[in-house]
Chains A and B, each alone.
Chain A
Amino acid sequence: MSEERGYLDMDLLRFTTAGSVDDGKSTLIGRLLYDSKNIFEDQLEAVETSSKARGDEHVNLALLTDGLRAEREQGITIDVAYRYFATPKRKFIIADTPGHIQYTRNMVTGASTANLAIILIDARKGVIEQTCRHAFIASLLRIQHVVICVNKMDLVDWSQERYDEIIAEFKQFASRLDNVVEVTFIPISALEGDNVVDKSKNMDWYQGPTLMYHLENVYVGPDANHIDARFPVQWVIRPMSNEWHDFRGYAGRVAGGVFKPGDDVVVLPSGFTTKVKAIHTLEGEIEEAFNPLSVTMTLEDEIDISRGDMIAKPNNQPKVEQDVEAMICWFSEKKKLKGREKLILRHTTKEVKAIVKDVRYKVNINTLHKIEDDLEFGLNDIGRISLRTSSPLFFDSYSRNRQTGSFVLIDEFTNETVAAGMII
């Protein structure tokens, strides 16, 4: 019985994994699944068989997540794959991005919904260019928790000295990143399982948590913004039935802050103020709504509200502007961004036209240097631009609110999503 309640009380941690090719990412994920008994036996059987066929000494856990590797070999689009596992404490969603050289786009995608990022470092190689890139993306996307796993400790004789050296190298680089996040370092061997789920017997000098312990216990509660009340209207509910004759409800997912019946609210863009009348769900009215709940609100006064409008508090409003400064990551292989491009911009539940007014700079994501002489954006390029939109957006800076501070850009002819943006 208590176990059941445990399951219902479980919370959710979304994390992403980064590392360059052969750092051991697939092995690590396989190890997490295997040691926490999250592998179906038919999968395991298949893996054992093919490990044997390949003459591997260990059961090759990397094969468990090898859907993507096969694709890489066949030259198919490399992409983000989502995997799921649960322990009695938490349910986990992994956004697994393959460690390809050119995979900034995929890591950005995976990172956009992650609470935590695992960055792998090969203990023999130490901090390399790609480590810096991964750390930069994690900080750009404002992932709150970063775990640096120094892997393959078995190949450096479980050396504390080597481990300390790598930590020092990383800290030196990380001091140049803008957003200081919580960084945890763990020495592991994904292959042999040391400090992944079970504590290592080979590294007595390490007193910290195992990776699994950290994943199960890291506190992710405050990641959401519970201060600035933001409710992007997604859909207007009008039952027009006898029972609900005059009902006009605004459906959406709370993007920040807390709404309660009786709260003073302002509706954007009209600027009308009113009060929250009730918050409805199928189970009945509720006392408060906050991120990430999907609810339906009714208001005291009849105001003309439609999809794309935003409900906020009069004393705490988002910016309402047509000019936006943002960091973007360019996603398109086919299309490049050259100067004053016209695009579709999608932000919360709103879609507008936008024109790129200025490209400020691009970032060399390996060195963090600004590039100011080549301002054309191609696949995987990251940089800062300014945009003007056809009608005002209701936004916060991305650092304040991931939901109201993010947008995507869409090519108006192909409908392709060509870029992701984070408002400054």
Chain B
Amino acid sequence: MEQKSKSYQVNHLKQLESEAIYILRETAAQFEKPALLFSGGKDSIVMAWLARKAFYPAKLPFPLVHVDTGHNFPETITYRDDFVEQIKANLVVGLVQESIDQGRVQEEKGPKASRNALQTVTLLDTIEKHGYDACLGGGRRDEEKARAKERFFSHRDEFGQWDPKNQRPELWNIFNGRKQHGEHFRVFPLSNWTEMDVWQYIKAEEIPLPSLYFASERDVFTRDGVILSQTDFITMLPEEEATARKEVVRFRTIGDATCTGAVLSNAATIDDIIEEVAAARQTERGTRSDDKRSETAMEDRKKQGYF
């Protein structure tokens, strides 16, 4: 008997996987027109991977939506298209350039111009244009304190706003996605995953990632204390020219090339990255070396957060 019940034990990654699949299926079932927000970062990659599992052998019953600033690392779009092909999904692209052309947003001027802030408008326009009533996001509760009480099914009013007072309690396996006309939901299937879980899962499942996540020698320079990649979209200021150099770096998030900072790292494989994440977690009290962390955490937030 003891022996028997033992075999029904499943490890925590399997539990998290099966919970996320449950949420993905609930989203498909409870909403008329859901969409999966695909940033090209690791969390949205894992989420899309799980969606493939949830509906196999059928195709995903919702599209992946990508907001393209036009200022991408070249690898990003190649990766995206290959990945979408591999998991047999439909892709909907919202172009920031289009929002600019239509006068919906103003392109920033000057050498430090970035399209990062413009993405939100393009995203909301894309959601409205297609009438999506639930958007799946890769947000995790462990990202920051303020997210710790976020729901799996997060209710937004007709203006797309999150009202902390109007969030519904979530008990057991039961999720209440009922809404009035015009209201939306954001759904976060990875709520209970930590950064470590995501990396472990990527390893266990051998999920391909954009090469940007892995350390390699790149042409970089420093702007406002952040290491940026030299690309066609960026004009270096004279004082920045002096910081131009080759350096072994990797990216912890994948976003707009004009403002996504790199970190000094030799982590060239998933195992290396897992070690790096584990080390950051266990830093002993008093050593304060890795001051890049909070910057990248900020970016994590912008990318995956409340969009």
Contacts and interface: CB of A to CB of B under 8 A. Distances in A.
A380 interface: no
Contacts of A239: 57-59
Interface stretch (B36-44, B63-71, B171-179, B225-233): B171-179
B165 A77 contact: yes
Contact of A226 (B8, B52, B287): B8
B293 A406 contact: no
Nearest to A412: B178
Contact of A415 (B9, B57, B176): B176
A331 B169 contact: yes
A410 B54 contact: no
Contacts of A84: 141-142, 192, 194
A86 B204 contact: no
A365 B8 CA distance: 36
B22 A253 contact: yes
Given A10-B11, A11-B9, A346 B53 contact: no
Given A109-B171, A292-B15, A294-B18, A82 B56 contact: no
Q: Which of B6, B8, B59 has the most CB of A within 10 A?
A: B8
Given A12-B15, A416-B168, A417-B176, A221 B148 contact: no
Contact of B288 (A41, A238, A406): A41
Interface string B274-286: 1000001111110
B248 interface: no
A80 B5 CA distance: 32
Contacts of A96: 148
A225 B45 CA distance: 33
A281 interface: yes
Interface stretch (A151-159, A243-251, A309-317, A388-396): A243-251
Contact of B171 (A68, A240, A349, A420): A420
Contacts of A41: 280, 283, 285, 287-288, 290, 293
A11 B11 contact: yes
Contacts of A224: 8
Contacts of B58: 237-241, 244
A179 to B, nearest CB: 17
Interface residues on A, range: 35 or more
Nearest to B285: A44
A263 B253 CA distance: 47
Interface string B161-204: 00011011111111010111000000000011010110010001
Nearest to B193: A84
Contact of A12 (B12, B200, B287, B288): B12
Contacts of A415: 176, 178-180
A67 B176 contact: no
B266 to A, nearest CB: 19
Contact of A410 (B56, B176, B192): B176
B21 to A, nearest CB: 4
A74 to B, nearest CB: 11
Contacts of A240: 58
B263 to A, nearest CB: 14
A348 B169 CA distance: 16
A408 B29 contact: no
A235 B28 contact: yes
A41 B54 CA distance: 37
Given A10-B11, A86-B194, A40 B25 contact: no
A384 interface: no
A109 B170 contact: yes
Contacts of A8: 11, 13, 200, 204
B281 to A, nearest CB: 7
Contact of B172 (A66, A349, A402): A402
A77 B169 contact: no
Contacts of A241: 57-59
B141 A82 contact: yes
A183 interface: no
A200 B288 CA distance: 30
A86 B13 CA distance: 13
A415 B169 CA distance: 12
B129 interface: no
Q: Which of A4, A84, A247 has the most CB of B within 10 A?
A: A84
A197 B300 CA distance: 32
A101 B27 CA distance: 35
B294 interface: yes
B171 A221 contact: no
Nearest to A64: B145
B149 interface: yes
Nearest to A421: B171
Contacts of B180: 415
A403 interface: yes
B279 to A, nearest CB: 11
Residue in A67, A251, A280 whose Cβ sees the most chain B Cβ within 10 Å: A251
Interface string A72-102: 0000110111111010001101001000000
B234 to A, nearest CB: 28
Contact of A37 (B18, B28, B173, B282): B282
A128 interface: no
B145 A93 contact: no
A251 B8 contact: no
The 3 closest A-B pairs by CB, nearest first: A12-B12, A112-B171, A294-B21
Given A91-B194, A294-B21, 17 more contacts: A7-B196, A7-B200, A9-B11, A10-B11, A38-B281, A40-B280, A40-B281, A45-B288, A68-B149, A79-B164, A80-B169, A253-B18, A281-B53, A294-B54, A410-B178, A415-B176, A415-B180
Interface of A: 4, 7-12, 37-38, 40-42, 44-45, 66-68, 76-77, 79-84, 86, 90-91, 93, 96, 105-106, 108-109, 112-113, 221-222, 224, 226, 234-235, 237-241, 243-244, 247, 249, 251-253, 255, 258, 280-282, 290-294, 296, 307, 331, 344, 346-349, 402-403, 406-408, 410, 415-417, 420
